[in-house]
Amino acid sequence: MRRLLILLPPLAWLLLLVAAPLLIIGLIAFAEAGPGVPPFIPPFGWAGGPVWRGSTESIGTLLGETYYLEAFLRSLLTAFVTAALCLLLAYPMALGIAGARPSWRLPLLLLVLLPFWAGFLPRLGAWIGLLRDGGWANGVLGLAGIGPLRLLYSNLALYLGMVHAYLPFAVLPLATALLRRDRSLEEAAADLGATPFTVFRSVTLPLSLPAAASAFLLVFIPAAGEFVIPELLGPPEAQLVGRVLWGEFFQNRDWPLAAALALAMLVLLLPPILLFQRLGRRG
Amino acid sequence: MRHFALIAALLLAPALAQAQTVLNVYNWTDYIDPDVVQRFQQETGIRIRYDVYDSLETLEGKLSAGRSGYDLVVPTSEPSFARLVRAGALRPLDRARIPNWRNLDTGLMERAGRADPGNAHGAIYLWGTVGLGLRLDRIRAIAPDLALDGLDLLLKPENARRLAGCGLAVMDSATDVLPSVLRWLGRDPDSADAGDLRAAEAALLAIRPQLRGIPGSGALLDMLATGEICVALAYSGDVIQAAARAREAGRGVEIGYVAPAAGPHLFFDMLAIPADAPNPDAAHAFIDFLLRPEVIAAVSSHVRYPNAVPASRPLIAAPVREDSNVYPPDAVLAHGFVPGTPGPQAERLRSRLWSRFRAGR
């Protein structure tokens, strides 16, 4: 009984803020789009008794048109590349922070976090200013006799923006884990004759794998649904799921299809999440 | 913050109603003369709570969810106003409470009536055309021989290839681009015919490799003003505002607007009252106030969009009044067309077409 009482708040939270909205999204996904306020016909009606008048048209559209499948694949690929790049950049940064003198650690961590204090959109605006045809990057390249290159609205700009926005998410868990690691294990390996590289490969790296997995996930999950950065920096063909969903909801006012897309995204993201969680635990 | 203000407004509404009437206005960004709002408040004692959107999607998203709390909105005739009328989201206007209705241009109102039979739900606030925003200084340098008078400049692949180096863009709006493309092809702008739509898609895909971007209207205005692009299919008012911004920046970027001589797509921004508006009385009073010639003249002078009150014309600031981009010549206007409202099936075909065009295949 007491256990139930303790569990009640988190259960209520889950029911109210996770299960209920999901159920509503699920119901909308099976509704039929049509003019009205809100712009769909609810899948349940009342005509002397409850009547089911839902439609699987949205699910059919989703599965039937390659446009959506391509958007999903592109999103997963973009998220994967972003997360991998973030991990590659964040690891040496985290190692450096963990290895720095204690009085330096906090300032270094703050430097990683500092960009968060400036708004997200002004930072993207700064990238646009840097990368545009007459921008600073092309100005510098021009001095070297190169260009002007098309930097803005390209995959390069897209990944610059994505990595810039998500890098702190990868640095923080890695830095925390590397700070807490047991240095005596590395000292023991070194005492037994391992070279610094072997120490890193056979001790430090395996110890930090769970943190690396969670760093990867922390970037991968939000990056898969990102739609602002591809829209502002990426090429027009960068039709990621976030953008496609936005378009269905706002431009086509097709709430059922948007809801179906959201559910499909959830289903598609679950396997990688479970996989990485397992990886993290095993490490 | 905006939402907070709205919630606060809803919570406080009953208390304030006794003390002071509040009118919640939801309009496009940079789309009114602030002095006009001030004057209305002084004259009537009604307090205006003014809120803005920068895309029709935002407006429709809020109104589609219901109970938006707004008393007056300004949807564009096609597609939003027409869809809101169809969805029953707007309240029929009581003309007895809008004596200044008689000031409206009957010809323009008749054209706006395509979206709203009998003009039951809206009065024209301001209007404009869809055409090309051009960076004149660069185009003159690259292709001095090109005629700057129509969509050939963008939609003929050989022209697009010549100008691609300095940047081409098409605004991201199936509803506001496809009618112009269909018209350029010599087809019915409202066509739901699969063959016509395939032709439009082919025309768009032919220039797709040359496009620098397919941005929203706000981003497009920015790209034009900074000189990032040379040719853009866009709303007249956006281009005119971009031109003003480029002049202010003083970096030698010269922007001009051209409405297709063969007949531009006309759009109307309508004053309308949501069906569930908390204070329709005040909204009627504000519409009537806006339709006074001297009031709407001040708005046009300020935002550089034409209005539909002919008596206001002499009162508008001369540079705006005489700008043929703001008020297109009668001949261009006569050829102009107002698109109809495609049915849900046609709309779906068009939005799929647009998705393929965006993705570039």
Of B55, B57, B211, the CB nearest to A236: B211
pLDDT at B15: 47
CATH classification number, B129-264+339-359, choose in 3.40.190.10, 3.40.50.1970, 3.40.1030.10, 3.40.50.2020: 3.40.190.10
Of residues A31, A195, A187, A173, the one with CA closest to residue A90: A173
B59: which residues sit within 8 A by CB, 6+ positions away?
A: B26, B53, B73, B75, B80
> Measured in whole angstroms, how far is the alpha carbon of residue A167 from the centre of its chain?
11
B62/A contact by beta carbon, under 8 A:
no
Of B86, B174, B358, the CB nearest to A35: B86
Chain B residues with CB-CB distance to A134 below 8 A: 226-228
Of A152, A239, A250, the CB nearest to B359: A239
Do B136 and B256 contact (CB within 8 A), yes or no?
yes
Chain A residues with CB-CB distance to B167 below 8 A: 133
pLDDT at A280: 65
* Cα gap B26→B1, rounded to integer Å: 15
Per-residue pLDDT 10s for chain A (283 aa) are: 788 888 898 899 999 998 999 999 999 999 988 777 888 888 887 777 788 888 888 888 888 888 888 889 999 999 999 999 999 999 999 999 998 999 999 999 999 988 888 888 889 989 988 988 778 888 888 888 887 788 888 899 999 999 999 999 999 999 999 998 888 998 899 899 888 899 999 888 888 988 999 899 999 999 998 988 988 888 877 778 988 898 888 877 889 999 999 999 988 888 878 887 777 665 4
Beta bridge partners of B256: B134
Residues 332-361 on B with a CB inside 8 Å of A are 344, 347-348, 351-352, 355-356, 358-360
Helix (H) or strand (E) holding B127: strand B123-135
Do B298 and B33 contact (CB within 8 A), yes or no?
yes
Q: Which residue of A has its CA nearest to B86?
A: A35
> Measured in whole angstroms, how far is the alpha carbon of residue A274 from the centre of its chain?
15
- Sorted by where each begins, the domain ranges of chain B are 2-121+267-327, 129-264+339-359
Q: Do domains B2-121+267-327 and B129-264+339-359 have the same CATH topology?
A: yes
Within B208-279, residue ranges assigned H as helices are: 217-225, 236-249
> ∠ CA(B132), CA(B54), CA(B260), 5° rounding?
15
Chain B residues with CB-CB distance to A36 below 8 A: 87-88
CA B153 to each of CA B12, B92, B132, B249: distance values in angstroms, whole numbers, following the listed order? 54, 42, 9, 26
B254: which residues sit within 8 A by CB, 6+ positions away?
A: B135, B136, B137, B243, B246
pLDDT at A164: 94
CA B28 to each of CA B205, B250, B339: distance values in angstroms, whole numbers, following the listed order? 31, 27, 21
> Tens of pLDDT along A60-85?
888 888 888 888 999 999 999 999 99
* Cα gap A203→A90, rounded to integer Å: 19
Residues 79-108 on B with a CB inside 8 Å of A are 83, 86-89
Helix (H) or strand (E) holding B269: strand B265-271
Residue spans of chain B under pLDDT 50: 1-2, 4, 6, 9-18
* Cα gap B314→B301, rounded to integer Å: 11
Question: How are beta strands B211-213 and B72-73 bridged, if at all?
Answer: unpaired
pLDDT at B132: 95
What does pTM read for this prediction?
0.77
Take residue A72 and report the two structure tokens written for it. Answer: 């999903």
Domains of chain A listed by start with CATH number: 65-251 (1.10.3720.10)
Take residue A82 and report the two structure tokens written for it. Answer: 């972003």
| CB-based contacts of A203-209 (< 8 A; 24+ apart in sequence) | A204/A95, A204/A178, A206/A283, A207/A177, A207/A181, A207/A182, A208/A91, A208/A174, A208/A177, A208/A178, A208/A181, A209/A279, A209/A280, A209/A283
Do B287 and B93 contact (CB within 8 A), yes or no?
yes
> Tens of pLDDT along B134-151?
999 999 999 888 888 889
Distance from CA of A238 to the nearest CA of B (A): 7
Amino acid at B167: G
> Tens of pLDDT along B12-27?
444 444 457 999 999 9
* Cα gap A91→A80, rounded to integer Å: 16
Chain A residues with CB-CB distance to B348 below 8 A: 252
* Cα gap B180→A158, rounded to integer Å: 31
What is the count of residue pairs from A and B with beta carbons less than 8 Å apart?
72
CATH classification number, B2-121+267-327, choose in 3.40.190.10, 3.30.70.1400, 3.30.565.10, 3.40.50.970: 3.40.190.10
